[in-house]
C-alpha cells in the first residue's frame, strides 16, 4: 500500500497523481459519463438522462474515505461507487437515475477506469524515458573515447569506454520507449462485457455501444471482452517491471563506481542528499539506493500479477483483486525509479582521471588478452594463452609489472620487442569497436 511518508522517496509526483485515489474514482466516473452518452446515441437509454448523469459525474467528487469504507463491505470499489453516483443523480433527476451504469458490470468500470489510468501512466513514463535518454546520449557522446576498466564478476576484465557504458543505457531506454509504443494498441483497450462477457443486457446494441464507448474514451476496440484474459494487464506490469530493473542496473553500476576505492563517478550533489547522521564526510549514493529499492520490489509484484492471470472461467476469485494492489504499486515504483534515473544521468559527475588511474591498478594485467591475441598468430592461440597466463601469475607472485615479466621471457621476447609489448599494454589501444557501437546507438537515437 502506498505510504504518504515514503511516496516522495520512491515515487514521482506525476505518477502518484495518476494512481491517486481521487484519480481512480475520476477515471471510473469518466467511464460512467461516457457510457451514458454513447448508450443514448445508440438509442439504448433516453437522451434526457445524459445531462443529469454527466453533471453528477463531473460534479463534486465522491469521498474516497466513504467509498473505501463501503468497498470493504461490498468487495470492490465499483459497487458502492455506482450506488453513490446513482444517489447523486437521483437527487437532481429521479428518472435519469434509472439509467446509471446501464448494462455494465463492476469489472467493466474498474478495468476500463484502470486502462484510462494506464494511458496516463504510459505518457508519464514516455516523457521520463525521453528525458533520461537525452541525458544518456549526452554522456555517451562526450565520453565516447574515454577509457575505463570494464568489469566482470566485480573484477577488472578489459578496457571499455564510459561512452560505451552510457550507450548501453541509452539503448535500453530506447527499447523501452519502443515497447511502450508497441503496447499502446494492445493494452489501452476498452473493457465492456456486462455480467459474463456477452453484453446480453444491451440486446443487439452491445457491439455498437462498445465501439462508440471506446471512441469516446480514446481507447482501442476489443474484438471480445477481455475480463477473463489478463495478458493486457500482464504486459503493462512487465513493462513497468522492465523499466524499474533497467533503472536498477544503472543505479547498481553508479553505486559501485562511487565506492571510495573506485571514485569514477559521483551522483549529483544536492543540499541534504547522501549525507550521514553521524559521519560528516559521507556522500552516499542515495538516488541509486532508492532506485534499487524499487528494482528489488518490482519482480515480486510482477509475479503476483502473472500468477493472478490464471483465473477461473469468466470472473476470477482473488487474481483480479491482487491486481488492484500490485499493478498501481508497480507503476509507482517504475515511475519513481525512472524519474530518479533521469535526474541521476542529468547530473552525473564523471571523473576520467580516476578511470585512468584505475586502469593502471593491476600494472598491466588488465591488458593480458591484448598481448595474447597479438602473439597468437606467431605462437598459436593456446600456446600464447598459457605463456601469458604464466607471466601474469609470476607478476602477481613477485609483485612486479607485467611488462618486465613479459620482456624477460625468451619465447615472448622473440615474438615482440619491449617497445611493442609496451604498446600492447596501452588500454587506449585495445578498445575494439567501442566507438563504433556508441556511434550506432547515437545514430538511432538521432533518428527517433
CATH of the domain at 423: 1.10.40.30
Q: Could you give the CA distance from residue 336 to residue 393 in angstroms, rounded to a whole number?
A: 47
Q: Do 275 and 147 share a structural domain?
A: yes
Question: Is 165 part of a structural domain of the chain?
Answer: yes
Nearest C-alpha neighbor of 118 from the set 188, 182, 175, 180: 188
Q: Could you give the CA distance from residue 271 to residue 287 in angstroms, rounded to a whole number?
A: 13
Question: Is 64 part of a structural domain of the chain?
Answer: no
Q: Do 371 and 224 share a structural domain?
A: no
Mean per-residue pLDDT for 133-138?
98
Domain end point (choices 321, 353, 385): 353
pLDDT in tens, 281-329: 668 899 999 999 999 999 999 999 999 999 999 988 999 999 999 999 9
Question: Is 47 part of a structural domain of the chain?
Answer: no
Candidate from 74-88, 222-236, 275-289, 394-408 with smallest mean pLDDT: 275-289
Q: Do 292 and 366 share a structural domain?
A: no
Domain end point (choices 353, 375, 406): 353
Q: Do 334 and 240 share a structural domain?
A: yes
Catalytic residue, candidates 138, 179, 283, 315: 315
CB-based burial label for 426 (10 Å; 0-12, 13-18, 19+)? middle
CB-based burial label for 65 (10 Å; 0-12, 13-18, 19+)? exposed
For residue 275, what pLDDT band results from cuts at 50, 70 and 90? low
Q: Do 348 and 311 share a structural domain?
A: yes
Q: Do 258 and 168 share a structural domain?
A: yes
- Give the total number of structural domains in the chain: 2
Q: Could you give the CA distance from residue 157 to residue 368 in angstroms, rounded to a whole number?
A: 10
For residue 124, what pLDDT band results from cuts at 50, 70 and 90? very high
In this predicted structure, what is the pLDDT of residue 386?
Answer: 95
Q: Do 285 and 219 share a structural domain?
A: yes
pLDDT in tens, 1-28: 567 888 888 889 999 999 999 999 999 9
pLDDT in tens, 86-111: 999 999 999 999 999 999 999 999 99
In this predicted structure, what is the pLDDT of residue 228?
Answer: 94
pTM score, whole prediction: 0.93
Catalytic residue, candidates 3, 22, 186, 276: 276
Q: Is the pLDDT of residue 278 over 80?
A: no
In this predicted structure, what is the pLDDT of residue 272?
Answer: 65
Q: Do 290 and 427 share a structural domain?
A: no
In this predicted structure, what is the pLDDT of residue 273?
Answer: 65
Question: Is 440 part of a structural domain of the chain?
Answer: yes
In this predicted structure, what is the pLDDT of residue 57?
Answer: 96
Average pLDDT, the chain: 95
Q: Could you give the CA distance from residue 101 to residue 109 in angstroms, rounded to a whole number?
A: 9
Q: Do 275 and 229 share a structural domain?
A: yes
In this predicted structure, what is the pLDDT of residue 2?
Answer: 65
Question: Is 306 part of a structural domain of the chain?
Answer: yes
Question: Is 29 part of a structural domain of the chain?
Answer: no
Domain end point (choices 328, 353, 378): 353
Q: Do 190 and 333 share a structural domain?
A: yes
Residue 275 structural domain:
104-353
Question: Is 115 part of a structural domain of the chain?
Answer: yes
Report the first-to-last Cα separation within the chain, whole angstroms. 37
Q: Is the pLDDT of residue 169 over 60?
A: yes
CATH no. for residue 174? Answer: 1.20.200.10
Using DSSP, state whether 189 is helix, strand or coil.
strand
Question: Is 419 part of a structural domain of the chain?
Answer: yes
Q: Do 129 and 234 share a structural domain?
A: yes
Query: How many Cα atoms within 13 Å fall on the side-chain side of residue 198?
Result: 5
Bridge-based pairing of strands 147-152 and 155-161 is: antiparallel
Q: Is the pLDDT of residue 74 over 60?
A: yes
Cell 457510457 sits at which residue? 35
Which residues lie closer than 8 Å to 263 by C-beta, 6 or more apart?
257, 351, 354
Q: Do 370 and 346 share a structural domain?
A: no
Mean per-residue pLDDT for 126-143?
98
Nearest C-alpha neighbor of 139 from the set 402, 445, 428, 414: 445
Q: Is 315 a catalytic residue?
A: yes
Amino acid at each position: 500500500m502506498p505510504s504518504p511518508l515514503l511516496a516522495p522517496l520512491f515515487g514521482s509526483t506525476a505518477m502518484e497523481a495518476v494512481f491517486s485515489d481521487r484519480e481512480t474514482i475520476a477515471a471510473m466516473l469518466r467511464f460512467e459519463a461516457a457510457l451514458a452518452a454513447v448508450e443514448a446515441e445508440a438509442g439504448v437509454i433516453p437522451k434526457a438522462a445524459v445531462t443529469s448523469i454527466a453533471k453528477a459525474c463531473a460534479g463534486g467528487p465522491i469521498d474516497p474515505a466513504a467509498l473505501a469504507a463501503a468497498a470493504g463491505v461490498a468487495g470492490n470499489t465499483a459497487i458502492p461507487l455506482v450506488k453513490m453516483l446513482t444517489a447523486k443523480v437521483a437527487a437532481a433527476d429521479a428518472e435519469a437515475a434509472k439509467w446509471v451504469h446501464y448494462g455494465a458490470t463492476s469489472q467493466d468500470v474498474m478495468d476500463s477506469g484502470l486502462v484510462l489510468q494506464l494511458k496516463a501512466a504510459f505518457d508519464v513514463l514516455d516523457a521520463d524515458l525521453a528525458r533520461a535518454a537525452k541525458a544518456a546520449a549526452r554522456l555517451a557522446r562526450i565520453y565516447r573515447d574515454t577509457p575505463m576498466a570494464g568489469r566482470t564478476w566485480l573484477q577488472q576484465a578489459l578496457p571499455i569506454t564510459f561512452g560505451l557504458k552510457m550507450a548501453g543505457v541509452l539503448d535500453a531506454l530506447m527499447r523501452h520507449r519502443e515497447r511502450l509504443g508497441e503496447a499502446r494498441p494492445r493494452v489501452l483497450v476498452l473493457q465492456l462485457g456486462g455480467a459474463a462477457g456477452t453484453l446480453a443486457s444491451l440486446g443487439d446494441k452491445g457491439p455498437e455501444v462498445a465501439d462508440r464507448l471506446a471512441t469516446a474514451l480514446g481507447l482501442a476496440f476489443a474484438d471480445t471482452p477481455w475480463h477473463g484474459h489478463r495478458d493486457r494487464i500482464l504486459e503493462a506490469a512487465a513493462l513497468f517491471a522492465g523499466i524499474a530493473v533497467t533503472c536498477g542496473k544503472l543505479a547498481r553500476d553508479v553505486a559501485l563506481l562511487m565506492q571510495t576505492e573506485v571514485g569514477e563517478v559521483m551522483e549529483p550533489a544536492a543540499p541534504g542528499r547522501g549525507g550521514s547522521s553521524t559521519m560528516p564526510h559521507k556522500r552516499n549514493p542515495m538516488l541509486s539506493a532508492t532506485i534499487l529499492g524499487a528494482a528489488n520490489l518490482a519482480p515480486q509484484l510482477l509475479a503476483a500479477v502473472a500468477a493472478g492471470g490464471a483465473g477461473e472461467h469468466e470472473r476470477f476469485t482473488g487474481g483480479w483483486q491482487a491486481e488492484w494492489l500490485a499493478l498501481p504499486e508497480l507503476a509507482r515504483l517504475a515511475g519513481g525509479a525512472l524519474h530518479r534515473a533521469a535526474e541521476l544521468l542529468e547530473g552525473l559527475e564523471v571523473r576520467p582521471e580516476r578511470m585512468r588511474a584505475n586502469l593502471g591498478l593491476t600494472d598491466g594485467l588488465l591488458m593480458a588478452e591484448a598481448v595474447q591475441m597479438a602473439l597468437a598468430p606467431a605462437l598459436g592461440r593456446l600456446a600464447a594463452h598459457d605463456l601469458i597466463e604464466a607471466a601474469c601469475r609470476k607478476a602477481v607472485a613477485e609483485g612486479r609489472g607485467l611488462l618486465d615479466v613479459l620482456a624477460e621471457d625468451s619465447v615472448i621476447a622473440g615474438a615482440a620487442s619491449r617497445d611493442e609489448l609496451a604498446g600492447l599494454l596501452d588500454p587506449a589501444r585495445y578498445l575494439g569497436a567501442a566507438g563504433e557501437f556508441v556511434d550506432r546507438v547515437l545514430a538511432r537515437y538521432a533518428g527517433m
